[in-house]
């Protein structure tokens, strides 16, 4: 149950490397439902925020907590990166790997992987090497590999960056379906159109701090600050 | 029963090329005085990388080599540079990372699983990137895992083990280290040993006497005498008994000499 993990809270969470603050201090509380979209200018800290919440960067200060223990929460999450790492194996083997790792019998894992290959439109490509896939195919495969174990929470860092319209549409459809099936989605994008299509709430990051956070409708319709308004109008904000 | 190896108190000097990791482990400081006391051989160590050690052997600049790179050793023998290869002992590589272990290495059952977890979670990994034996081993493990390590998460530092561990400590990153370097490392910070024990992480050391047919000046008799000592019960006890921070670093696994 997703609700057992939330709220996800960041309290004064900060990541510094050497003398530079990458993100923070961040104070944020996310509930169990919806799709949270993180937006902001390049270099504002979107990726760092996602990694911080997912727990794959070490905090310099503050804390990130879940309603359950952190190891329990981490076991129920997945992360799709902007440039996912593909195993030098076939499409099918990339999909069966996480299932086999979880102890699923081989025949069952293969059946489930084939089902997912069909869902992402790659049923005819299961024997192809993952390394020769196009950018869009790779991203769909990475998404399927993340969703195949039905995570309660899915983080995505700019999953559609540099993809064409068709691939973007397919990925957005997968995300909406996953969310409808119960996966909580927290994702960054630089594409305001995508943010408007997917978001139920928006986090606007500026200079490593959360500048504005709220329901998507309000964020887009009546931003609180001049910086947010400028950003939404396409002005350069940093 | 312990084999007697103390036969010749005036045997002489001998040159042995060894790897830096062996020397840095501190084991040489334990073994050399015992070898001299038992055999009379005064060992002069040339501490270099495995590749350089084998080149010294091929040139006849040393009487024997003690290294850890199986493919290169086999080639050394095949080319006639050495008379034979004798396994002596092994140590192991370990995977180090932030104690919070976001890639969940501690739950992995094989080194391959551990590396795939690092790659697929794109957790920061520090590579020596210096073409050392440790670096080559790391690359072979990535290859076995069917992963091409590249991207922002993979930091190649082009430096020695201490510098790589320091970088990992500063970044909260994963890194592969030989166990001795990890135990000797003083700036552990939030790092912890998270994965070890897969046999693919074992690091086999072998002794290869230089072929006197190529270089008549090499001291083949002393090399043979040293081999007898290195494969003796005396060596087994000293090697297995050598500890750092309460941990055994090397495991003696020399097979008994074949009887003709």
The pLDDT profile of chain B, 260 residues, written as one tens digit per residue, is 333 344 444 579 999 999 877 887 889 999 999 999 999 999 999 988 788 899 999 999 999 999 988 889 999 999 999 999 999 999 999 999 999 898 999 889 999 999 999 999 999 999 999 877 788 899 999 999 999 999 999 999 988 888 999 999 998 999 999 888 898 888 898 999 999 999 999 989 999 999 999 999 999 999 999 999 999 999 999 999 999 888 888 999 998 765 44
> Do B90 and B253 touch, CB atoms closer than 8 A?
yes
Q: Report the SS3 class of residue A194.
A: helix
How far is Cα A155 from Cα A150, in angstroms, rounded to an integer?
13
Q: Are residues B136 and B179 located together in one domain of the fold?
A: yes
How far is Cα B48 from Cα B42, in angstroms, rounded to an integer?
19
pLDDT at A18 over 90: no
Q: What is the pLDDT of residues A128-152, one digit of tens each?
A: 999 999 999 999 999 999 999 999 9
Q: Report the pLDDT value the prediction gives residue B257, as an integer from 0 to 100.
A: 65
Number of domains present in the structure of chain B: 2
Kindly state whether residue B30 falls inside one of the protein's structural domains. yes
How many angstroms separate the most distant Cα atoms in chain A? Answer: 57
Kindly state whether residue B259 falls inside one of the protein's structural domains. no
Q: Report the pLDDT value the prediction gives residue B48, as an integer from 0 to 100.
A: 83
CA quadruple A61, A65, A71, A73: dihedral sign: negative
Half-sphere exposure of residue B248: CA atoms within 13 angstroms, side-chain side: 12
How far is Cα B172 from Cα A18, in angstroms, rounded to an integer?
12
Question: Which whole number is the average pLDDT over A76-96?
Answer: 94
Is A79's CB within 8 Å of B190's CB? Answer: no
Looking at the complex, report in whole angstroms how far the Cα of residue B110 sits from the nearest Cα belonging to chain A. Answer: 11
Interface of A with B (CB under 8 A): 17-18, 54-58, 70, 74-75, 79, 81, 83-85, 87-89, 97, 101, 131, 145
Q: Which of A17, A74, A89 sits opposite B102 (nearest CB)?
A: A74
Neighbour count for residue A162 (Cβ, 10 Å): 12
Q: Are residues B102 and B228 located together in one domain of the fold?
A: no
Please, which residues have CB within 8 angstroms of residue A112's CB and are 6 or more apart in sequence?
A95, A96, A99, A104, A148
Q: Are residues B209 and B112 located together in one domain of the fold?
A: no
Q: Are residues B38 and B85 located together in one domain of the fold?
A: yes
CATH code: domain of residue B123: 3.40.190.10
The length of chain B in residues reads: 260
Please, which residues have CB within 8 angstroms of residue B164's CB and are 6 or more apart in sequence?
B126, B127, B128, B157, B175, B177
Range of the domain at B221: 12-90+203-252
Residues 153-182 of chain B whose Cβ lies under 8 A from any Cβ of chain A: 170-172
Both structure tokens of B101: 């272990």
- Over pLDDT 90: what percentage of chain A? 88
Mark out the alpha helices in A120-225 (DSSP H runs). 135-147, 165-180, 192-198, 216-221
- Over pLDDT 70: what percentage of chain A? 100
How far is Cα B31 from Cα B238, in angstroms, rounded to an integer?
7
Whether ipTM > 0.90 holds is: no
Neighbour count for residue A57 (Cβ, 10 Å): 25
pTM here is 0.79
Burial class of B36 by CB neighbour count within 10 A (0 to 12, 13 to 18, 19+) = middle
How far is Cα A36 from Cα A198, in angstroms, rounded to an integer?
8
**Residue of higher predicted confidence among B130 and A190:** A190
The length of chain A in residues reads: 238
Q: Are residues B187 and B213 located together in one domain of the fold?
A: no
How far is Cα B53 from Cα B59, in angstroms, rounded to an integer?
10
How sure is the predictor about A21, in pLDDT bands with cuts at 50, 70 and 90? very high
Q: Are residues B173 and B209 located together in one domain of the fold?
A: no
Looking at the complex, report in whole angstroms how far the Cα of residue B245 sits from the nearest Cα belonging to chain A. Answer: 27
Q: Are residues B180 and B114 located together in one domain of the fold?
A: yes
Q: Report the pLDDT value the prediction gives residue B7, as an integer from 0 to 100.
A: 45
Q: Report the pLDDT value the prediction gives residue B10, as an integer from 0 to 100.
A: 56
Is A58's CB within 8 Å of B190's CB? Answer: yes
Q: Which of A74, A85, A145 sits opposite B151 (nearest CB)?
A: A85
How does the average pLDDT of chain A come out, rounded?
94
Pick from B200, B216, B241: which residue ends a domain? B200
How does the average pLDDT of chain B come out, rounded?
90
Q: Report the pLDDT value the prediction gives residue B9, as an integer from 0 to 100.
A: 46
Is A88's CB within 8 Å of B146's CB? Answer: yes
Kindly state whether residue B5 falls inside one of the protein's structural domains. no
Please, which residues have CB within 8 angstroms of residue A96's CB and are 6 or more apart in sequence?
A106, A109, A110, A112, A113
Both structure tokens of A202: 């928006």
Q: Are residues B124 and B78 located together in one domain of the fold?
A: no
Q: What is the pLDDT of residues A93-130, one digit of tens each?
A: 999 999 998 899 999 999 999 999 999 999 999 999 99
């Amino acid at each position: 149950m997703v609700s057992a993990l939330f709220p996800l809270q960041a309290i004064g969470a900060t990541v510094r490397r050497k003398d530079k603050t990458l993100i923070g201090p961040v104070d944020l509380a996310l509930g169990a439902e919806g799709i949270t979209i993180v937006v902001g200018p390049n270099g504002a800290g979107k990726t760092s925020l996602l990694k911080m919440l997912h727990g794959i960067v070490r905090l310099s200060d503050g804390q990130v907590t879940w309603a359950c223990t952190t190891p329990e929460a981490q076991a129920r999450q997945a992360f799709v990166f902007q440039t996912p790492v593909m195993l030098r194996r076939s499409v099918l083997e990339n999909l069966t790997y996480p299932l086999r790792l979880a102890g699923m019998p081989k025949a069952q894992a293969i059946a489930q992987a084939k089902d997912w290959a069909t869902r992402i439109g790659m049923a005819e490509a299961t024997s192809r090497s993952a390394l020769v896939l196009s950018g869009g195919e790779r991203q769909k495969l990475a998404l399927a590999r993340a969703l195949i174990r039905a995570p309660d929470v899915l983080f995505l860092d700019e999953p559609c960056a540099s993809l064409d319209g068709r691939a973007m549409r397919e990925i957005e459809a997968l995300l909406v379906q996953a969310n409808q099936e119960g996966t909580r989605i927290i994702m960054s994008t630089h594409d305001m159109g995508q943010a408007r299509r997917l978001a139920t709430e928006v986090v606007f990051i500026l200079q490593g701090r959360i500048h504005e956070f709220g329901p998507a409708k309000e964020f887009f319709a009546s931003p609180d600050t001049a910086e947010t308004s400028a950003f939404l109008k396409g002005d350069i904000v940093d | 029963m312990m084999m007697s190896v103390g036969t010749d108190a005036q045997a002489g000097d001998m040159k042995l090329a060894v790897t830096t990791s062996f020397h840095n482990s501190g084991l040489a400081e334990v073994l050399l005085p015992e070898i001299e006391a038992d055999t009379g051989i005064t060992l002069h160590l040339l501490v270099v990388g495995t590749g350089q050690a084998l080149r010294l052997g091929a040139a006849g600049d040393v009487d024997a080599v003690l290294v850890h790179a199986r493919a290169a050793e086999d080639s050394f023998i095949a080319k006639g540079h050495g008379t034979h290869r004798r396994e002596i002992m092994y140590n192991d590589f370990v995977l180090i990372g932030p104690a919070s272990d976001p890639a969940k290495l501690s739950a992995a059952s094989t080194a391959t699983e551990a590396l795939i977890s690092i790659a697929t979670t794109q957790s920061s990994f520090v590579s020596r990137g210096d073409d050392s034996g440790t670096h080559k081993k790391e690359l072979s493990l990535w290859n076995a895992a069917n992963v091409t390590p590249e991207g922002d998460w993979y930091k190649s530092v082009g430096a020695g083990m201490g510098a790589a561990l320091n970088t990992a400590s500063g970044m909260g990153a994963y890194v592969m280290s030989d166990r001795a370097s990890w135990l000797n490392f003083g700036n552990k910070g939030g790092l912890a040993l998270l994965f070890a024990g897969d046999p693919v992480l074992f690091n086999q050391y072998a002794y290869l006497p230089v072929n006197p047919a190529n270089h008549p000046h090499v001291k083949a008799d002393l090399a043979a005498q040293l081999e007898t000592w290195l494969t003796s019960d005396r060596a087994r006890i000293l090697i297995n008994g050598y500890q750092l921070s309460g941990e055994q670093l090397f495991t003696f696994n020399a097979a008994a000499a074949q009887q003709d």
